[in-house]
Amino acid sequence: MIQIDALPAFSDNYLWLLQDVNRRECAVVDPGDAAPVEQWLQAHPGWKLTDILVTHHHADHVGGVARLKSETGARVLGPSSEKIPARDVALNDGDHVEVLGLGFEVIHVPGHTLGHIAYFHADANQPLLFCGDTLFAAGCGRLFEGTPAQMYDSLSRLAALPDPTQVYCAHEYTLSNLRFACAVEPENPDVRARFEEVTRWREQGKISLPSSIGLERATNPFLRVSEISVKKIADERSGQETRAPEEVFATIRRWKDQF
């Protein structure tokens, strides 16, 4: 069993630290800042950082990679089509890699960036997804490079993963995302209940992650664009009937950008 902890960075980033307690080895996902990882290693003498997993090229995800690689010799894995500092292994859709004894499938999820990838571990007892800035708890990433159709397809691939899959995204955006979800589906009791729960958690200083694919399918408007309730409000926002799910997604994403 792998233990996973969040190392906070910047104002709202989480660096996910995977730990193999028996081997005293660890791996980190998207270390935009080296300092939190360095501090953890200093507080845990005898541990070795073996791998650095990168989802995309933005500075708040790769800023600490080169320094950690230099200090620890960790293997750096990242998308083949993006410029990733000190990358050792260039990954493409469908590739399989092993990290801390866990097998991960690489899923290409363009939209936020064109080369963005996610890492999925399919174990029935502990399915895991590290999805960077593609899928957020109750939300999704902004479209900096890709198209709405690309992001819709990417999110559809992630939504098709097993419901118990634990979703480890890179930012604490959940409460603001749920405020938007309440505006999209004000009559959805699951959204309202989740908003109230996360509000309590944040007031208590608790993080809102990981989520799960099942929870996202029930409460994330960007995974619910085929639902009548979401399509209806998208039509109201656009002033015309949106037919294809990717058109509904595009309308909802534009609304969220200005929300």
Catalytic residue among 20, 30, 33, 133: 133
Is residue 60 among the annotated active site residues? yes
Whether 96 is a known active-site residue: answer no
Question: ∠73-74-76 over CA atoms, to 5°?
Answer: 125
Q: What are the distances in angstroms from CA 133 to CA 20, 106, 140, 168, 169?
A: 25, 15, 7, 10, 6
Determine which one of 20, 33, 58, 121 is catalytic: 58
Whether residue 133 lies in the annotated active site: yes
**94 to each of 34, 109, 120, 194, 254, how far by Cα in Å?**
29, 11, 10, 33, 30
112 is catalytic: yes
Is residue 121 part of the annotated active site? The answer reads no
Q: Please enumerate, as own/partner, the contacts of 85-89 that have beta carbons within 8 Å and a separation of 24 or more.
A: 87/54
Choose, from 20, 60, 116, 121, the residue flagged as catalytic: 60
* Annotated catalytic residue within 61, 108, 116, 121: 61
Positions marked active-site: 56, 58, 60-61, 112, 133, 171
